């Protein structure tokens, strides 16, 4: 049987110029359930499918608040995500303390990018087994970033990571030009539709398995008649009954859309269900 | 030194360099030591009621005889999830050296925020009070020169006030005044809140005289007491004045009021 | 007499006493600035309806010696914020270099936004006066905590995140505060009372016109020159508004009148 000699650590290149450990880490991201993020001119939303490891267990958490202006969606190893999440929270608190402003989302993402890259270049270290979508607003507006275990980070208009996320991405690509001017509600709606695309057959979005996270700008309070500064709507996660209202928005087109997108290939139906990830 | 110790006899009869005084404190030299503290004046006050707590402070910031600012709040909401502290449950007042006070407030706020993030619920006053004491004592040998008072509602929903000295000694009290005019306000509070030296008329002679029984004050009464206390302090203390900031903590949330005081 | 080469050119001990080489001693505790050396005097500033006016003279004194007469003590940051320095000049230059570095870093980080042509958003993402005020407070407080203070009293003027005029002060102990008018050093005693006549409250300041504010500042600079012995009649004045900063660094005090000096008696050689 073929044995790979170049995947024992993350510091050795294969003759083809690949670092297998980093690629494997990227695979761990694909094992996690899907998360979708979209940004408009006023808001950034994250939506996620939560799994329960078994019927008797509760559903995993997919969305986390980092600071009042930033939230993340995770796909991959939850425990690795927690390390990053705590780090990000510390950075945001520190930045707010020294500058009294929302930490620019790009600086924040750059920091976890460099942190993750170190793990890919030092012997004995392991890359993070988690991918993130980072949604936030700062003084320059709403942002959405993708983060990968390799340390790669990139600003996105809309993106999806996790199991079967290609289907969600296809939906996002098809509707790309609508996002910029979308309202808060429309953005959530698009997110949920993208999420539905990547569902396994016979699965549906329910109040149990859907999470929605929103952050954005709202019109500032009129103070003395001249206050027109935008105010941050803090990152907030909706779970359980709170998502019902949004699920109803996309419930109607269930039949047509499923038909429209055509049958899913059966081979990928259970991808991502073999490994214990995301669970705890 | 190496550069100048070129004596060929090495440690033999020497040049004056090596005989130089070892310590640089020549007679009569001007030695200017940096004093890291100043007193920025001002006064604070907290009173606990049956189901509320009122925290108050004036808004003047002084150094010496100068008024630096007429609006510099000393009373802060602590431990909300956002920077506007909309969902905060605790209030901290600090008076003394303003920079230390501010640093102390920010540290406690960061700790409360982390607690809330990790536990998914706000810190109780009791827990926060203990933590604040630890923070202060950790700097026992370079203290935060600030008199802190922490206020909130306890687990039973009763008003709670915890007061501190700069190095972390603390106790829970019914009321406390802090800062420049503490010695003016505290006796007034003893009399008006805890009814000290109030007796029931005609209830006896000398030691047989009965004390007036304590009863919880209403919010309206306490607000009046706070305003009177500060009006009195402003009149008699030069470092107190300009504005009165009040925070009223109830189970509905924290209300903030700013009223004018005399500016002279 | 010592004729060995090592002693050449050195003062003789028998004539001048033992040489005091104590300053060569680098053993013992680390020493830091214990007092300011070359200093600048007052900085003054007042808010008006569209912004802030700030001024400081161009003198750097060495004790009572007027050592440097062309030192600019008002510095700008990212074209939006003015920072005025009183106190030690070398510490001012250190802070200026530090802030310059910060401004460069910040400019590199200027983010592309989702709406590429939104210039407002691009500008808003840069550090504003509120951010700098906060940052300097933290820096000064940290230095005082390590007993190595930056011997300055600083005024910061510009706009905060809510686009409102901001005027703040930070001193060598990290004490910080805001007010409709501010002054450091002698100015706190001489200029502040004059400025408070025109801008006692934020509301009063919001009624002042730019011309009025400049007038008040010039009047105060004159009073300071009359009464502050460590001051100069050449000064810098900066006007910060939403449109940017107008900084003039070589202004001359006008319309001075020393008539009042005639009435001052009891100093120097004067006997009557």
Is residue B32 scored above 70 in pLDDT?
A: no
Per-residue confidence (pLDDT) for residue C12, from 0 to 100? 77
Q: State yes or no: pLDDT of A275 exceeds 50.
A: no
d(CA B230, CA B120): 38
Closest CA–CA distance from residue B118 to any residue of chain A (Å): 10
Q: Does the pLDDT value for residue A221 go beyond 80?
A: no
- With respect to residue C212, please indicate whether it lies within any of the assigned structural domains: yes
> What is the tally of structural domains in chain C?
1
| pLDDT: which is higher, B213 or B33 | B213
Give A 68-127 residues with CB within 8 A of chain B: 68, 89, 93, 96-97, 100
B64 touches C at CB < 8 Å: no
What CATH number does the domain containing C114 carry?
Answer: 3.60.20.10
Q: Is C213 part of any domain?
A: yes
Question: CB–CB of A234 and B117 under 8 A?
Answer: no
Cβ partners under 8 Å of residue C208, min gap 6:
C46, C47, C48, C49, C198, C199, C216
Cβ–Cβ < 8 Å for A190, A223:
no
Res. A278: pLDDT tops 60: no
Whether the pLDDT of residue C135 is over 50: the answer is: yes
Question: What would the pLDDT profile of C184-209 be if each residue is shown by its tens digit?
Answer: 999 999 999 999 999 999 999 999 99
Q: How far is it, in rounded angstroms, from Cα C189 to Cα C186?
A: 6
Percent of chain C scoring above 90 in pLDDT: 73
Which residues in chain C are closer than 8 Å to B69, comparing Cβ atoms? 177-179
In whole angstroms, what is the distance from residue A63 CA to residue A43 CA? 16
Q: Choose the weakest-confidence range: A133-137, A197-201, C115-119, C158-162.
A: C115-119
Does any domain span residue C249?
yes
Look at residue C180 and tell me if it is in a domain. Answer: yes
pLDDT of C116 reads: 59
Tens digits of residue pLDDT in A231-266: 899 999 999 999 999 999 898 655 444 444 444 444
pLDDT band at A43, cuts 50/70/90? Answer: very high
Residue C7 lies in a domain: no
Chain segment B35-83, per-residue pLDDT in tens: 999 999 999 999 999 999 999 999 999 999 999 999 999 999 999 999 8
Which residues constitute the domain of residue C72? 38-253
**What share of chain A has pLDDT > 70, as a percent?**
85
Would you say residue C92 lies in a domain? yes
Segment C7-35 shows an average pLDDT of 74
Q: Is C131 on the interface with A (CB under 8 A)?
A: yes
Look at residue C16 and tell me if it is in a domain. no
Mean pLDDT over each residue of chain A, to the nearest integer? 87
Residue B2, pLDDT above cutoff 90 = no
Exactly one of C33, C76, C113, C178 is catalytic; name it: C33
Amino acid B251: pLDDT? 96
Please write the tens of the pLDDT for every residue from B74-99: 999 999 999 899 999 999 999 999 99
The band of B7, judged by pLDDT with boundaries at 50, 70 and 90, is very low
User: DSSP class of residue B199?
Assistant: B
Alpha helices in C146-259 (DSSP H): 186-190, 192-198, 202-205, 210-227
pLDDT at C248 over 70: yes
Do the Cβ atoms of C256 and C225 come closer than 8 Å?
yes
The answer as to whether C53 is a domain residue is yes
Q: Give the pLDDT mean for A82-92.
A: 96
Q: Provide the percentage of residues in chain A whose pLDDT is more than 90.
A: 76
- Taking 60 as the threshold, does the pLDDT of residue B11 lie above it? no
């Amino acid at each position: 049987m073929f044995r790979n000699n170049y995947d024992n650590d993350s510091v050795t290149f294969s003759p083809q110029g690949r670092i297998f450990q980093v690629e494997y880490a990227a695979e761990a991201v694909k094992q996690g359930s899907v998360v979708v993020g979209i940004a408009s001119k006023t808001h950034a939303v994250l939506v996620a499918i939560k799994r329960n490891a078994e019927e008797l267990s509760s559903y995993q958490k997919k969305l986390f608040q980092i600071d009042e202006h930033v939230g993340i969606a995770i796909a991959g190893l939850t425990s690795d995500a927690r390390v990053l999440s705590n780090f990000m929270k510390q950075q945001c608190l520190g930045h707010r303390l020294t500058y009294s402003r929302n930490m620019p989302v790009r600086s924040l993402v750059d920091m976890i990018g460099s942190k993750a890259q170190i793990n890919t270049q030092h012997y004995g270290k392991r890359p993070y087994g988690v991918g993130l979508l980072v949604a936030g607003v700062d003084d320059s507006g709403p942002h959405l970033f993708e983060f990968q275990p390799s340390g790669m980070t990139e600003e996105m208009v809309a993106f999806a990571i996790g199991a079967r996320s290609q289907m969600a991405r296809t939906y996002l690509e098809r509707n790309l030009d609508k996002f910029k001017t979308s309202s808060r509600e429309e953005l959530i709606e698009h997110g949920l539709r993208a999420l539905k695309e990547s569902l396994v057959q016979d699965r549906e979005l329910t109040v149990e398995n859907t999470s929605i996270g929103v952050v954005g700008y709202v019109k500032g309070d009129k103070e003395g008649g001249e206050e027109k500064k935008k105010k941050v709507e803090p990152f907030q996660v909706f779970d359980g009954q709170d998502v019902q209202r949004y699920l109803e928005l996309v419930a109607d087109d269930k039949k047509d859309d499923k038909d429209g997108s055509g049958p899913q290939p059966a081979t990928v139906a259970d991808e991502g269900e073999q490994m214990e990830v995301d669970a705890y | 030194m190496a550069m100048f110790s070129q004596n060929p006899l090495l440690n033999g009869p020497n040049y004056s360099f090596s005989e130089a005084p070892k310590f640089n404190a020549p007679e009569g030299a001007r030695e200017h030591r940096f004093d890291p503290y100043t007193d920025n004046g001002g006064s604070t006050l907290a009173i606990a009621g049956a189901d509320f707590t009122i925290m108050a402070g004036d808004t003047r910031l002084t150094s010496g005889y100068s008024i630096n600012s007429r609006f510099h709040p000393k009373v802060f909401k602590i431990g909300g999830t956002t920077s506007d502290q909309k969902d905060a449950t605790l209030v901290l007042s600090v008076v003394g050296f303003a920079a230390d006070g501010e640093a102390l407030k920010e540290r406690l706020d960061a700790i409360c925020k982390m607690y809330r993030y990790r536990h998914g619920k706000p810190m109780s006053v009791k827990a926060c009070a203990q933590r604040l004491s630890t923070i202060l004592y950790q700097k026992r040998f370079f203290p935060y020169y600030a008199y802190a008072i922490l206020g909130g509602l306890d687990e039973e929903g009763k008003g709670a006030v915890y007061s501190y000295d700069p190095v972390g000694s603390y106790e829970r009290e019914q009321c406390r005044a802090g800062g420049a005019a503490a010695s003016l306000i505290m006796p007034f509070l003893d009399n008006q809140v805890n009814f000290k030296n109030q007796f029931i008329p005609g209830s006896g002679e000398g030691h047989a005289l009965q004390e007036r029984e304590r009863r919880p004050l209403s919010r309206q009464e306490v607000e009046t007491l706070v305003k009177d206390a500060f009006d009195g302090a402003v009149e008699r203390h030069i470092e107190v004045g300009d504005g009165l900031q009040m925070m009223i903590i109830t189970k509905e949330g924290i209300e903030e009021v700013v009223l004018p005081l005399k500016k002279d | 007499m010592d004729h060995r080469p090592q002693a050449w050119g050195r003062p003789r001990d028998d004539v001048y006493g033992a040489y005091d080489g104590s300053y060569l001693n680098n053993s013992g505790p680390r020493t830091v600035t214990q007092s300011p050396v070359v200093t600048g005097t007052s900085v003054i500033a007042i808010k008006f309806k569209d912004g802030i006016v700030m001024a400081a003279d161009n003198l750097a004194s060495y004790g009572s010696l007027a050592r440097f007469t062309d030192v600019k003590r008002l510095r700008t940051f990212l074209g939006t914020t003015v920072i005025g320095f009183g106190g030690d000049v070398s510490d001012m230059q250190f802070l200026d270099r530090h802030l310059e570095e910060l401004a460069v870093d910040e400019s590199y980080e200027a983010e592309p936004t989702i709406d590429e042509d939104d210039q407002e958003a691009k500008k808003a993402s840069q550090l504003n006066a509120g951010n700098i005020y906060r940052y300097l407070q933290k820096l000064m407080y940290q230095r005082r905590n390590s007993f190595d203070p930056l011997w300055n009293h600083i005024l910061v003027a510009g706009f905060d995140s809510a686009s409102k005029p901001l005027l703040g002060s930070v001193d060598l102990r990290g004490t910080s505060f805001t007010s409709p008018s501010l002054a450091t050093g002698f100015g706190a005693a001489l200029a502040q009372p004059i400025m408070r006549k025109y801008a006692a409250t934020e509301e009063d300041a919001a009624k002042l016109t730019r011309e009025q504010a400049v007038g008040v500042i010039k009047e105060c600079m004159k009073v300071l020159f009359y009464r502050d012995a460590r001051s100069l009649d050449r000064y810098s004045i900066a006007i910060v508004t939403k449109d940017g900063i107008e900084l003039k660094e070589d202004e001359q005090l006008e319309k001075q009148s020393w008539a009042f000096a005639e009435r001052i008696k009891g100093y120097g050689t004067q006997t009557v």
